């Protein structure tokens, strides 16, 4: 795995789900001292909110759990992103479809759903809280925290130096 490994989180307008995923991943990356090895950003498949701050409800819910979304501004995903990022994580199937339409054959393998990495929740999408009754911003954050934690565990395994992997394998083999 090359370093820094670059991750892009994507929803429709980049003012709620994807910036929340960016902030959660950033905090997990920093807590695990991986800031020099993993880079994360966010964008939207639509540009009509470009330059806008994150949704106030998203900021409020995230802030209550220690995440800061205040400096994140909405932007539209571009063709450069498709080449630059190693992993592009869509929040839902609609955005997954839109990203795949933009991608070359080679880039398709880099695009996945964020919830593919969830360990506690069985949902396959992070729902848009604007489209659900009651604006389920807490659920959105719960889902993102779960998937981000699962993703970081996967990345830590992949970033582990080969010598550590060989030592672990040797140690496990000796125990048999």
Among 9, 11, 16, 54, the one annotated catalytic:
11
- Per the annotation, the verdict on 52 as an active-site residue is no
The Cα–Cα gap between 25 and 42 comes to 11
- Per the annotation, the verdict on 116 as an active-site residue is no
The Cα–Cα gap between 147 and 127 comes to 13
- Per the annotation, the verdict on 128 as an active-site residue is yes
Q: Strand pairing partners for 40?
A: 7
Among 81, 92, 128, 146, the one annotated catalytic:
128
Among 9, 16, 17, 54, the one annotated catalytic:
17
| Spatial contact of 159 and 37, defined as CB atoms under 8 Å apart | yes
The Cα–Cα gap between 169 and 163 comes to 10
Strands across the sheet with 87-90, in order?
Answer: 38-44, 5-11, 87-90, 111-113
150: tokens are: 């699962």
Peptide bond into 133 cis (omega under 30): no
Q: Which residues are catalytic?
A: 11, 17, 128
């Amino acid at each position: 795995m090359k370093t820094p490994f670059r991750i892009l989180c994507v929803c429709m307008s980049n003012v709620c789900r994807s910036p929340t995923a960016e902030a959660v991943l950033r905090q997990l990356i920093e807590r695990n001292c991986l800031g020099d090895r993993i880079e994360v950003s966010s964008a939207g498949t639509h540009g009509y909110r470009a330059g806008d701050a994150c949704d106030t409800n998203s900021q409020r819910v995230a802030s209550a759990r220690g995440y800061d979304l205040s400096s994140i501004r909405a932007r539209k995903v571009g063709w450069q992103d498709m080449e630059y990022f190693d992993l592009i994580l869509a929040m839902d199937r609609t955005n997954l479809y839109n990203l795949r339409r933009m991608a070359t054959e080679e880039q398709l393998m880099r695009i996945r759903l964020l919830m593919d990495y969830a360990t506690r929740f069985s949902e396959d999408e992070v729902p848009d809280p604007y489209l659900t009754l009651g604006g389920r911003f807490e659920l959105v954050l719960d889902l993102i925290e779960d998937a981000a934690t699962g993703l970081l565990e996967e990345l830590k395994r992949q970033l582990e130096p080969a010598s550590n992997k060989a030592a672990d394998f040797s140690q496990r083999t000796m125990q048999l």
